[in-house]
Amino acid sequence: MAPKINVVKARVNIRSKVFLLTKIRDALKDRGDNSYNMFKRTVFGPWLDVRTDDHDSHVLNYLLFHQRNVTNPTFDSPFIFDIGKHTIEMGRREFCLITGFRFGDISLGHLKKVSSNFMKRVFPKLKSLKGENLLSLLEDKEFNDLSEPDAVRVCLLLAANYCFMGQEVRHVMVKEIVALVDDLDEWNAFPW
């Protein structure tokens, strides 16, 4: 007798807004300066070449159907998939290997009390920053008035929070990440 398979009805909502990468690419190219090339040299630069923002629901459904339940997961617990006779683990290291992001200590504690100069320059009237603010600026003519590095910073913050971290644009950004974008070298060295 075949073992009983417990099928659970579930709905998957993907909050990642990969389509923003296309908007970022187009906005940077439209500026007609070096900001597009600056962004291309950042840790997120290769992602501007993503050809589609469609999620293949069949592949996602297949993977989720074969995901193993991990009891007592921790921050570093990998996703485990049992596909056929094979077990596949997808943890932070594997994700970094595939995406090209760095792997390492993800602490932002050293930026807890740092006030962002970028925030003071570009959004002086705001106490906290939301994706809505960044997206509105990206779509506004004022975006072309920003310096090249600040235009790149706007795009990096959008990509980090709303493409890769899956935050919603109405949510307030973590203050330490806004402070991190002040130093583009430190941003690129950060283990995303």
Query: CB count, 10 Å around CB of 172?
Result: 15
Q: How many separate domains does the chain show? A: 1
| 103 is a domain residue | yes
pTM passes above 0.85:
no
Alpha-carbon span 174 to 111, nearest angstrom = 11
| 1 is a domain residue | no
Residue 114 has a pLDDT of 83
Kindly report the average pLDDT of the chain as a whole number: 83
Buried b (16+ CB within 10 A) or exposed e, 7-37: eeeeeeeeeebbebbebbbebbeeeeeebbe
| 2 is a domain residue | no
- Residue 75 pLDDT greater than 80, yes or no: no
Domain that holds residue 172: 19-189
| 44 is a domain residue | yes
| 5 is a domain residue | no
